[in-house]
Chain A
Amino acid sequence: SQQGEEDPQALSIQEGENATMNCSYKTSINNLQWYRQNSGRGLVHLILIRSNEREKHSGRLRVTLDTSKKSSSLLITASRAADTASYFCATARKGGSEKLVFGKGTKLTVNP
């Protein structure tokens, strides 16, 4: 069953602009993670934020988590053409089975 839902489904921006992707989920979580997937390739872990954290940074990435709204956002600043990929949020449910549940992803295109 799908837990996280990303929004928008697709996003197209110009190089240098910021890209914001959102993720909403349904149940209480232990942590939320963001992954990146280049076309048809394996997913790569970007960042993990725990349920007791509100914001986390990693290079040009900024992730926020609002557990009251059951939502998270991923901000990529000063985007580059190489950031073109699909981005997925994944949630580890609190008190549930030991598995990470992925959303359907946001396809980001950064135009040079």
Chain B
Amino acid sequence: EAQVTQNPRYLITVTGKKLTVTCSQNMNHEYMSWYRQDPGLGLRQIYYSMNVEVTDKGDVPEGYKVSRKEKRNFPLILESPSPNQTSLYFCASSSVFTTTNEKLFFGSGTQLSVL
């Protein structure tokens, strides 16, 4: 089944404790992206990747890191999480992102709480 898999689904952590949210897609997609969703603010893009070893900042990249060493994986790293990073996170992918006709496939989300 074609899908984007995020783990974990729920995560509670404390301020400053490094964490990684994993994202994997089995569709051989070139484009992957991370979003966070907050009440009243909608979805905001954190980072995106056009292909292996190619990443770029989205609208809210501060406090996050990503890497794209393999085509299928795009982990989101919080080196020193803070409470304002408490949010619902989504990973998404697309076959080739041309801005003309490609749709995004989303993972099920990771609800992160930073205490």
User: Do the two shown chains form a genuine complex with each other?
Assistant: yes
| Residues of chain A at the chain B interface (Cβ within 8 Å) | 1-2, 30-31, 33, 35, 40-45, 48, 50, 88, 90, 92-94, 96-105
Across the interface, do B106 and A104 meet the contact criterion of CB distance under 8 Å? Answer: no
| Residues of chain B at the chain A interface (Cβ within 8 Å) | 4, 31, 33, 35, 40-45, 48, 50, 56, 58-59, 88, 90, 92, 97, 99-101, 103-109, 111
Q: Which residue of A lies closest to B39 (CB)?
A: A104
- 21 A-B residue pairs with Cβ-Cβ distance under 8 Å, sorted by A, are A30-B100, A31-B101, A41-B109, A42-B107, A42-B109, A43-B92, A43-B104, A43-B106, A44-B106, A48-B101, A50-B101, A92-B99, A92-B100, A94-B99, A97-B56, A99-B33, A99-B45, A100-B33, A100-B45, A103-B42, A104-B41
Across the interface, do B45 and A40 meet the contact criterion of CB distance under 8 Å? Answer: no
Q: Give the interface SS of chain B, mostly helix, strand, loop or mixed.
A: strand
Cβ-defined partner of A30 (8 Å) among B33, B58, B99, B106: B99
Closest 10 CB pairs of A and B: A42-B106, A104-B42, A92-B99, A45-B103, A102-B43, A43-B106, A30-B99, A42-B108, A30-B100, A98-B97
Give the distance in Å from the alpha carbon of A96 to the alpha carbon of B90 in the complex. Answer: 22
Q: Which residues of the partner chain B approach A1 to less than 8 Å between Cβ atoms?
A: 59
Give the distance in Å from the alpha carbon of A50 to the alpha carbon of B108 in the complex. Answer: 27
Across the interface, do B104 and A100 meet the contact criterion of CB distance under 8 Å? Answer: yes
Q: Give the interface SS of chain A, mostly helix, strand, loop or mixed.
A: strand
Across the interface, do B58 and A99 meet the contact criterion of CB distance under 8 Å? Answer: yes
Across the interface, do A93 and B42 meet the contact criterion of CB distance under 8 Å? Answer: no
Q: Which residues of the partner chain B approach A41 to less than 8 Å between Cβ atoms?
A: 108-109
If A40-B109, A40-B111, A41-B109 touch, does A93 touch B43 (CB 8 Å cutoff)?
Answer: no
Q: Which residue of B lies closest to A42 (CB)?
A: B106
**Residue from A1, A30, A44, A99 having most chain B Cβ neighbours under 10 A:** A99
Q: Which residues of the partner chain B approach A42 to less than 8 Å between Cβ atoms?
A: 4, 90, 106-109
Q: Which residues of the partner chain A approach B44 to less than 8 Å between Cβ atoms?
A: 102
Give the distance in Å from the alpha carbon of A105 to the alpha carbon of B38 in the complex. Answer: 12
Across the interface, do B103 and A88 meet the contact criterion of CB distance under 8 Å? Answer: no
For the complex with contacts A41-B108, A96-B99, A100-B45, 16 further pairs of A-B residues with Cβ separation under 8 Å are: A2-B42, A30-B100, A31-B100, A31-B101, A40-B88, A42-B4, A42-B107, A48-B103, A88-B43, A94-B99, A98-B97, A99-B48, A99-B58, A100-B33, A104-B40, A104-B41
